[in-house]
Amino acid sequence: MALIKTHGAAAVFIGVIIESVIVPIPSPLIIMGAGAILIEPGLGLGAALPGILGKIVLPGAVASTLGAFIGYGIAYWGGKPVIDRFSSFLGFTWDEILGMEKRLEGRVGPMLFFLRALPIVPLSLISAAAGVLRIPAAPFTIWTFLGSVPRCLVLGVLGYMTRDSYEGLAGNLNKAESFVSLGIVAGAFALILFLRARMRRA
């Protein structure tokens, strides 16, 4: 927060990339803090909007897109070897992943946009899933950036409007994101158990 106060949009850019890599940093905190710190208090929302867009949304969306490539790249290059090695445990094969990719063709972009736009959906899991499904880099970049814009806008406006209490709200959003993450992991584990049971029956 001190760096954001001193360096403005540049610190927002670096902070969002860092929180993309270091999980313990609550993902809403950087953008909401920037909304509270960088925008002059007392402005109406219309007057504050240009500053929010220029100082927060643009650097935040670009940094979020670049940071997303970390999880995407690891899953893209490492997903196939891991699935091939543990397919008997997982209950599905790489060919089935490719079949899922074909079934989702044409719908992945809007899904990616929607999931990245929601402030309570964990971004690292979205990026990793996109990498495992081997979504091409160009549409991944475009849809990730487009989805990051409304996410950063909503969080930036919330930070500006809750200037004195943004840290508490950011913490609550982060808790909600953690519950969503646990739900996704639990759902994936349950799916693996189901697929393993299906393989044994087959």
pLDDT digits (tens, 9 = 90+) for 8-19: 889 899 988 888
pTM of the model: 0.76
| Residue partners of 25: CB distance under 8 A and separation at least 6 | 18, 19
Task: Please give the share of the chain, as a percent, with pLDDT higher than 90.
Answer: 21
Rounded to whole angstroms, the Cα distance separating 110 from 145 reads: 12
The model's pLDDT over 74-93, given as tens digits with 9 standing for 90+, comes to 888 887 777 777 666 666 66
Which two structure tokens, joined as six digits, stand for 1? Answer: 């927060």
pLDDT tier at 43, thresholds 50, 70, 90 = confident
CB of 16 closer than 8 Å to CB of 31: yes
Please state the rounded mean pLDDT for residues 139-143.
93
Q: Rounded to an integer, what distance in angstroms lies between the CA atom of residue 55 and that of residue 186?
A: 37
Q: Residue 173: is its pLDDT beyond 80?
A: no
Task: pLDDT band for 133, please (50, 70, 90 cuts).
Answer: confident
